[in-house]
A and B are shown apart, each in its own frame.
Chain A
Amino acid sequence: MLAEIANPHPTWNVAHDVSEVLEYHFMVNALLAGSVVAVMAGLLGWLMVLRRETFAGHTLSMMAFPGAAGAALIGVAATWGYFVFCIAGALAIGRLSAGERRSWSEQSATIGAVQALALGLGFLFVSLYGGVLGDLDNLLFGTFLGISDGQVLVLLGVAVAAVAVLVALGRPLLFASVDADVASARGVPVRSLGIVFLVLLGLAVAATSQITGVLLVFALLLMPAASAQAITARPGLSLALTVAIGLVVVWLGLGIAYFSVYPAGFFVTSISFAIYVAIQVGAWARSTTRRGLQAPEQPPAEGVIA
């Protein structure tokens, strides 16, 4: 679609290509918005992976459907619908599923129920609206055309607020995420932190879906974090890598899409996936080699009876 506007061609001169991309205000805005979203989604996605709340993240992304439909119904911008429904969904999941000692299967059942209700509400809103949702493609697969300066600022504001809260909660949130029983005994409010985290995750999902669309949020939310965690177990390094991978994915994806007739969402997702697969294969190869080398030295009695 871009090809029709600018008819650009890559020249193999990277510096030239980059400067060409940056000449267009809409591309600058797209890159800015994408970068903001990559940082925010990376940090929250890292904790989402650590906390094993991927299904909650997926459910929150589905909130965009009732959000967009509800916004159309009352005649406001879809963005507001995204944020309101993602936060409401986060609170619902947090209230219903974060009870004491709920097993993982109970929690996922609750989250699934919330997701079904949200999609049902979305369907209701669409039929009350009576029309076809305008930019269904954009809702599902995102857009980076025509991101206004105002939208960039809103995304930046949301991201700065979310990251500030994340930094303030830092250690207790990590403690509650990996070791809830001990954290709770130490007076860390594990349950409240879980709900606050879901709200932050909802904000990140709503922001990410502006760029990648509802269906592709995991390209920035999940895959950079999962890739980084496969590379290293050092938390600081792992977080930095997550953000770096997210930024590379966004920049490459948008850059390639600019010169291509195919949509950006496809490139963002494919690059993210390619990195993820490469790193998983690398980690697997590394652990196989290490195990092969270490096997004869391992004492047979070491381990767990279970």
Chain B
Amino acid sequence: MGSGREGEPAQDVSDGAAGAPLVVRAPVLPGSPALPASSPAAVKLTDAAVRLGGRTIWSGVDVAVRDGEFVAVLGANGSGKSTLLKVVLGTLGLAAGEVSVLGRPAGRENARIGYLPQRRSFDSGTRLRGSDVVRLGLDGDRWGLPLPAGPVRNRANPPSRRRQAKARIEEVIELVGAGEYANRPIGELSGGEQQRLLIAQALVRRPQLLLLDEPLDSLDLPNQAIVAALVHDICRGEGVAVLLVAHDVNPLLPYLDRVVYLAAGQAVAGPVEQVITGEVLTGLYGLPVEVLKASDGRLVVVGQPEAPAHHHDRHSHDHDGHAHEGHGHDHVH
């Protein structure tokens, strides 16, 4: 689906610059294809701006995520990454500009969106199985019973439909590799196991767009790699567009089609190698920033300014979510 996008339209980069004169114009790649008419953007923000509590979080932002594409949203704490997802979900309105999601105004097509909020972990006392939580993703918004995957026999619900639901839940649990522990109480599972089940929950209704807010946060390095690969497989295998918020781009590097980098109230979008460069980030931050490439391909950003002291989104309230902060300024972050 999203493969073979090496001729990435660099227009995103210059679009991002249009509303933000600070931003460096990235070189336009030769042979950039225009958006095919048959593949409308899963997400399209045009000259968008958000204000929260009288403060402009970002403005002049242009982002496009095409069908089946894997895009990461990067930036420091407080740069408005989660805010971007809320705009796409329609739970937060724009102060200026336009947003369209799956071809309609934001908020209208949420049934076709799988959403994984930031740093959601279940209290260890939550006495529901992992499969019940996945089941809620399938039909939790429908009124009435039956309760999730319960043994309740319901005559009004033909068994074939019940069986279909059950089969879909099992299928999606297998897809994320959570079969072994899906029937254990979710509160007893590790962060990585919970995260996989939550991805299954977001996927269970076969969405066309996945919005994942820091799914790698709070995972150890092996689990970060596993979950990143899993999201990539889902993106390619199921043809789902993915917009993923991340602190650190490195676990995602092998898989990304493009990144959106938020900083200093602006955004630059484009392929990783065009956006995460000293030149672009220096322009974005207005301060000298250097990007080094380690021998294993990992990117290290040097000179990135501190995050603003007054945070506005949930990153700042997050108690456990700062596992990266200690060393975060070494990485792209």
- Taking Cβ atoms with an 8 Å cutoff, the residues of A that contact B are 50, 52, 167-172, 174-175, 178-179, 181-188, 229-230, 232-239, 301-306
Q: Which of A52, A188, A232, A233 has the most CB of B within 10 A?
A: A233
Q: Is B253 interfacial (CB 8 A cutoff)? A: no
- Taking Cβ atoms with an 8 Å cutoff, the residues of B that contact A are 89, 91, 110-111, 113, 115-117, 120-123, 126-129, 132-133, 136-137, 139-152, 184-186, 190-192, 201-202, 218-220, 222, 320, 323
Are the C-beta atoms of A304 and B218 separated by less than 8 Å? yes
Are the C-beta atoms of B148 and A185 separated by less than 8 Å? no
Q: For residue A52, which residues in chain B have a CB less than 8 angstroms away from its CB?
A: 123
Q: For residue B128, which residues in chain A have a CB less than 8 angstroms away from its CB?
A: 50, 178, 233, 235
Pick from B126, B127, B137: contact of A230, CB under 8 Å: B127
Are the C-beta atoms of A167 and B144 separated by less than 8 Å? yes
Are the C-beta atoms of B117 and A181 separated by less than 8 Å? yes
Are the C-beta atoms of B143 and A235 separated by less than 8 Å? no
Taking A305-B218, A305-B323 as contacts, is the C-beta distance between A233 and B147 under 8 angstroms?
A: no
Q: What separation, in Å, do the CA atoms of A234 and B152 have in the docked complex?
A: 11
Are the C-beta atoms of B141 and A187 separated by less than 8 Å? yes
Q: For residue A236, which residues in chain B have a CB less than 8 angstroms away from its CB?
A: 146-147, 149-152
Q: What separation, in Å, do the CA atoms of A173 and B121 have in the docked complex?
A: 19
Q: For residue A174, which residues in chain B have a CB less than 8 angstroms away from its CB?
A: 136, 140, 147-148
Are the C-beta atoms of A304 and B144 separated by less than 8 Å? no
Q: For residue B185, which residues in chain A have a CB less than 8 angstroms away from its CB?
A: 233
Q: For residue A171, which residues in chain B have a CB less than 8 angstroms away from its CB?
A: 136, 139-148
Pick from B142, B190, B192: contact of A172, CB under 8 Å: B142
**4 nearest interchain CB pairs?**
A236-B150, A175-B140, A304-B191, A233-B185
What secondary structure prevails in chain A residues at the interface with B? helix
- Closest-by-CB residue of A relative to B120 is A181
Q: For residue B141, which residues in chain A have a CB less than 8 angstroms away from its CB?
A: 171-172, 175, 183, 186-188
Are the C-beta atoms of B110 and A185 separated by less than 8 Å? yes
Pick from B148, B151, B323: contact of A237, CB under 8 Å: B151
Q: What separation, in Å, do the CA atoms of A172 and B137 have in the docked complex?
A: 10
Are the C-beta atoms of B117 and A172 separated by less than 8 Å? no
Q: For residue A188, which residues in chain B have a CB less than 8 angstroms away from its CB?
A: 140-141
Pick from A175, A233, A234, A305: contact of B151, CB under 8 Å: A234
- Closest-by-CB residue of B relative to A46 is B127
Q: Which of B148, B201, B222 has the most CB of A within 10 A?
A: B148
- Closest-by-CB residue of B relative to A188 is B141
Q: Which of A50, A174, A179, A237 has the most CB of B within 10 A?
A: A179
Q: For residue A186, which residues in chain B have a CB less than 8 angstroms away from its CB?
A: 110-111, 115, 140-141
Q: What separation, in Å, do the CA atoms of A179 and B202 have in the docked complex?
A: 12
Determine how close the nearest CB of chain B comes to the CB of A190; give it in whole angstroms: 11
Are the C-beta atoms of A179 and B218 separated by less than 8 Å? no
Pick from A182, A232, A239: contact of B117, CB under 8 Å: A182
Taking A171-B142, A172-B141, A302-B190 as contacts, is the C-beta distance between A235 and B117 under 8 angstroms?
A: no
Are the C-beta atoms of B133 and A179 separated by less than 8 Å? yes
* Sample (20) of A-B pairs whose CB atoms are under 8 Å apart: A171-B143, A178-B126, A179-B120, A179-B136, A181-B120, A182-B115, A182-B136, A182-B201, A182-B202, A183-B136, A187-B111, A233-B185, A235-B128, A236-B146, A238-B127, A302-B190, A303-B190, A304-B121, A304-B191, A306-B320
Taking A178-B133, A230-B127, A234-B150 as contacts, is the C-beta distance between A306 and B218 under 8 angstroms?
A: yes
Q: For residue B89, which residues in chain A have a CB less than 8 angstroms away from its CB?
A: 185
Are the C-beta atoms of B148 and A168 separated by less than 8 Å? no
Q: For residue A184, which residues in chain B have a CB less than 8 angstroms away from its CB?
A: 91
Are the C-beta atoms of A303 and B220 separated by less than 8 Å? yes
Q: What separation, in Å, do the CA atoms of A232 and B141 have in the docked complex?
A: 24
- Closest-by-CB residue of A relative to B123 is A52
Determine how close the nearest CB of chain A comes to the CB of B198; give it in whole angstroms: 8
Given A174-B147, A179-B133, A234-B129, 19 other A-B residues pairs in contact with their CB atoms under 8 A: A52-B123, A170-B143, A174-B140, A181-B117, A186-B111, A186-B140, A188-B141, A230-B127, A233-B128, A234-B132, A234-B149, A235-B148, A236-B152, A301-B220, A303-B192, A304-B121, A304-B192, A304-B220, A306-B320
